[in-house]
Amino acid sequence: MSTLEIKGLRAAVAGKEILTGIDLTVRRGEVHAVMGPNGAGKSTLSAVIMGKPGYEVLGGTVTLDGEDMLALPTWQRAVRGLHLVMQYPTEVPGVHVDEVLAEALAARGRDVSALGDIIRTEAGRINFDADLVARALNVDFSGGEKKRNETLQLGVLAPRFAVLDELDSGLDIDALRDCARRVEAATHESNLGVLAITHYVRLLEELKPDAVHILVAGRIVKSGGPELADVLERDGYAAFA
């Protein structure tokens, strides 16, 4: 079974160590939730997995089916099957959403002749205005439109593993439900493996986790089943400090 494996991962930003040794294994079709307070290192984890500039890896490994992801530039990690849904999607003036998707599919050696139909289908599944794909990427999009656009891209590209960096941030109830349900469906339809980074249990009401991990001060202090999220909701992060 295809596996994303993180072992002993340590990383720093501006000379300060943020991740102090992360161990996680996610298999295709599984949903793993990583929860923790502000400053715990959740977004740093997503950034290091995808190779965002400005982060220094101090030790450990990130492998996809045994291949070293840390040795690859970001675009090659994406081609291999990793996908990041960003907490704060970037605006790219002059570059249209459909152009980005066409280039991304071509880089993966996939046919783009039916891209328009695929986009319309995916847009319909998450109540996203398909006409927005002919506009500049995320420019003048609302917060909800940006997150629906991120989810649309995930649906079109059909990666092997997705890292969701606070997909629920800034979403109203309807948008959260639409996006989370699409990701959950992908775990069954295309065997998507998910590493979902979030503060709140509400995301996990729609995106059903197989495991929940509590990240505090750069390390995982507790792992368990979905019931761990309920404990966190009741007792807060202080119980795991």
pLDDT in single tens digits along all 241 residues of the chain: 799 999 999 999 999 999 999 999 999 999 999 999 888 999 999 999 999 999 999 999 999 999 999 999 999 999 999 999 998 898 999 999 999 999 999 999 999 999 999 999 999 999 999 899 899 999 999 988 999 999 999 999 999 999 999 998 888 899 999 999 999 999 999 999 999 999 888 899 999 999 999 999 999 999 999 999 888 888 888 877 7
- 6-28 tens-digit pLDDT: 999 999 999 999 999 999 999 99
CA atoms within 13 A on the CB side of 4: 27
Q: Are 82 and 73 in contact (CB under 8 A)?
A: no
Sheet strands (E) in the chain? 3-13, 16-27, 31-35, 55-64, 67-68, 82-85, 92-96, 136-137, 161-165, 193-198, 211-216, 219-224
CA-to-CA distance for 137 and 158, rounded, in angstroms?
Answer: 19
**122-159 tens-digit pLDDT:** 999 999 998 998 999 999 999 889 999 999 999 999 99
Q: How far apart are CA 159 and CA 178, in angstroms?
A: 19
At residue 235, the pLDDT reads: 85
What's the predicted TM-score (pTM) here? 0.94
User: What is d(CA 63, CA 142) in angstroms, rounded to the nearest whole number?
Assistant: 35
Residue 161 bridge partners (DSSP): 82, 193
Q: Do residues 203 and 229 make contact, with C-beta atoms less than 8 angstroms apart?
A: no
Looking at the DSSP bridge assignments, the partners of residue 139 are none
